[in-house]
A and B are shown apart, each in its own frame.
Chain A
Amino acid sequence: MSAIAAGSGGGEGINPVASVIGIVLILVTLAITYIAAPVAIAALVGVIVGGLLIGFGVHFVPVGGAPAAMGQSPGIATGVAMLAAGAGLAGLFGGAWAAANPAFDFAVVIAAGAVGGGLMMAITCLMVNVIYIFGMGIPAASGKVAKDPITGDTQEAYKSQGTEGHGLPFISYVGGVIGGLLGGAGGTLIYYELLQVYAAALPTVFSADAAEVLPIAVSLAGIFAIGMFLVNAVLAAYNITGTIEGPHDPKFKRFPRAIIGCATASAVCGLFAILIVVV
């Protein structure tokens, strides 16, 4: 596909040259980390995996934007960045609570984060449908598929003329919950990995007890996790360019680009975050 054919607002397909450069960038950040702070190499890999989980998860979330607020397209009536931030922060609360308890191991912490994000999206999707159906009096109908891929319900007959569909069909709801699970798990993974790095390194930086500087470690890891979450969510939103109905939307096929892009962004941001304890 030539550059001329790819208009503004997300050309289709993968850009091979840029993707290779992105992967090289990831390897460069890993190499720098290996030289500067060899103990943090596993943490950086965790941050990269967390970032691409977020980028992948955003593609599942049904985002309707402004048209959805008027009932003219399916999805939740807000932008990708806001929805992803909500799901991510809800997941982070669950994950941070689990991480603060020494009795819970790595798997429980990540699961707690995933459940937090998934729960937030499930409640949001439910209330969105309640308001659409009982408040605006419109049934949920997809404009992208004739039949719901999960339930097999027909969509066309319920779609109002002049709209692209409205409300949240079952597949969009399921997609929202999956996106929340992935986003919450990814955000918590970033938080947990950075927390391990800071909790280990900060006592020597301040020459203080580990318990005394733990609030600093928690705060630093938390703010970095939020920052990286937003970077990855917005980059994934730029990949989607606007609205998406869920995993059945044709735009969903663009997710490989987001995975490469979010991994690159997370690698660079993660390197900066780890350099804090090296400088």
Chain B
Amino acid sequence: MTVQVTASEGGIPHNTIMAVGLVGSLVCLYLTYINQFISAEYAAFFGGLAAVFALLWGTDTIKHLCSYGIGTGVPSAGMIAFGTGVIAMLLATKVETVMPYSAPIAAVVFGAIVGAVAGWIANSIMRMNIPVMVRSLTEMAIIGAIVLMGFTAVMAGGFSFDAIAAKEIAILGPLTATSYAGSLLGGCLLAVSFMLGSLALQHPFNACLGPGEQQDRTMMLAAECGFLSMIVVAAISFAFVAFGAAILSLIVALVGFYYTYVRFIELSKRDAFAWLDAKPILEPKGED
């Protein structure tokens, strides 16, 4: 006995969503570099927007993959996305210390390599034989890396390995000391963003799947989950970035969350009303 996963057909093509998600998130990640040229980290909130772009793309990817009925539930896809993504993202932050301005591109490249290997293993060695498996897991590893990088940018204002591994602490006015334990990596805040991101990635389709699934409603929930996670990382950012920059991130996250939540409720009511003339749910042919 398996649970039938049904989803809507049509809507915006997946390739279009992928292009918008990839370009949008990369542009937002590069906008966070503005922090290096201004007095405070006011551009940190762009990292959250990059994460939202990537989550929109990821939700559509998960929808494509899970429509094949992978038999392990939707959450497993979100977990493997971030399991592979965190490895790619950390290596990319280290590359950033050697080649400035390369981290977002490096994250995409490393994510694609790790994701493609995982997808190929699942498809060939484990004999899943799902046509979109390799492509989906490749995309999701990239998404995982981008979301983690975006959340890191919100929390710390940047994503260079040195910046997230050490924190300057003021002692007695002009004197400063370097603290490694109080840094973003030392406090293992990456684990927090790991779970925030993976839940935001797997929840929207998991919550909306079924005979009445509509693409615009699922995507709105994805954006809402992204902004909800961004509220938490913006709250964490008070420990690392300037007060004004953290307030700005928090305001952007709250406004985004409010707008997407209200829209999601509207769309849910619309779909609930459309369902009111009680269409029968067709039983799938042939249980395995």
Which A residues form the contact surface with B (CB < 8 A)? 3, 6-13, 15, 17-19, 21-22, 25, 65-67, 72-73, 79-82, 85, 164, 206, 208, 212-213, 215-216, 218-220, 222-224, 226-231, 233-235, 237-242, 257-258, 260-261, 264-265, 268-269, 272-273, 275-276, 279
Q: Interface SS of chain A: helix, strand, loop or mixed?
A: helix
B interface, how many residues as a size bin?
A: 35 or more
In the complex where A220-B90, A261-B125 touch, is A230 in contact with B72 (Cβ < 8 A)? no
Whether the pair A230, B121 counts as a contact (CB closer than 8 A) is no
Whether the pair A81, B76 counts as a contact (CB closer than 8 A) is yes
Q: Tell which of A215, A222, A242, A279 touches B91, judged by Cβ atoms closer than 8 Å.
A: A279
Q: Tell which of B72, B82, B120, B183 touches A242, judged by Cβ atoms closer than 8 Å.
A: B72
Contacts of A10 in B (CB 8 A): 71, 126-128
Whether the pair A264, B181 counts as a contact (CB closer than 8 A) is no
Contacts of A257 in B (CB 8 A): 125-127
CA distance A206 to B183 in the complex (A): 13
Chain B proximity of A253: nearest CB distance (Å): 13
Q: Mark B125-147, 1 if CB is under 8 A from A, else 0.
A: 11111100000000000000000
In the complex where A206-B166, A215-B181 touch, is A6 in contact with B127 (Cβ < 8 A)? yes
Contacts of A275 in B (CB 8 A): 91, 94
Q: Mark B82-101, 1 if CB is under 8 A from A, else 0.
A: 11111110110011011000
A274 closest partner in B (C-beta): B91
Question: Is B54's beta carbon under 8 Å from chain A?
Answer: no
Q: Mark B53-73, 1 if CB is under 8 A from A, else 0.
A: 000000000000000111111
Whether the pair B165, A227 counts as a contact (CB closer than 8 A) is no
Whether the pair B122, A11 counts as a contact (CB closer than 8 A) is no
Q: Which of B38-46, B185-193, B216-224, B265-273 contacts A (4 or more CB under 8 A)?
A: B185-193
